[in-house]
Amino acid sequence: MSAIDDLLTVARARLERVLPDDLAGEMASGAVIVDMRPITQRLRDGELPGAIVIDRNVLEWRLDPTCPHHIPEVSNARARIILVCNEGYGSSLAAATLQDLGLHRATDLIGGFQALARRANRDLHE
């Protein structure tokens, strides 16, 4: 295994990752869904309804409730935050970093936006 694979394994061991089928329920329960995909991917594949878009390079500053630059949707460390990237790799690493900042309920979506797209496509054809 490569070093990044090891790091990803360690990060994911700390997370209670969310399945695509469970994302709507998480949203209904008040979770903050953060789409961290770059603009090129959002333009290519579409937006994630109900998600807040935050670029990866400012993610920690926008989600740390102790930072003066945090978004109003995350006002304390108890917030449930679910990160969504394209395929669920970068979001796992970022969610582990958020946990290091004290956001212990931060996690990510298994398979990322692409898993949601496959689920939606499957639902259309059933």
One-character DSSP codes across 8-54: HHHHHHT--PBPGGGHHHHHHTTPEEEE---HHHHHHH---TTPEE-
Instruction: Please tell me the pTM assigned to this model.
Output: 0.95
pLDDT at 125 over 90: no
How many Cα atoms sit within 13 Å of 108 on the Cβ side?
30
Q: Which domains does the chain have, with CATH numbers?
A: 3-116 (3.40.250.10)
What six digits make up the tokens of 87? 């395929």
Whether the pLDDT of residue 121 is over 90: the answer is no
Among 106, 90, 91, smallest CA distance to 26 is for 106
Residue 40 pLDDT > 80: yes
Q: How confident is the model at residue 126 (pLDDT cuts 50, 70, 90)?
A: low
Bridge partners (DSSP) listed for residue 81:
32
The pLDDT, as a whole number, for residue 95 is 98
Average pLDDT, the chain: 96
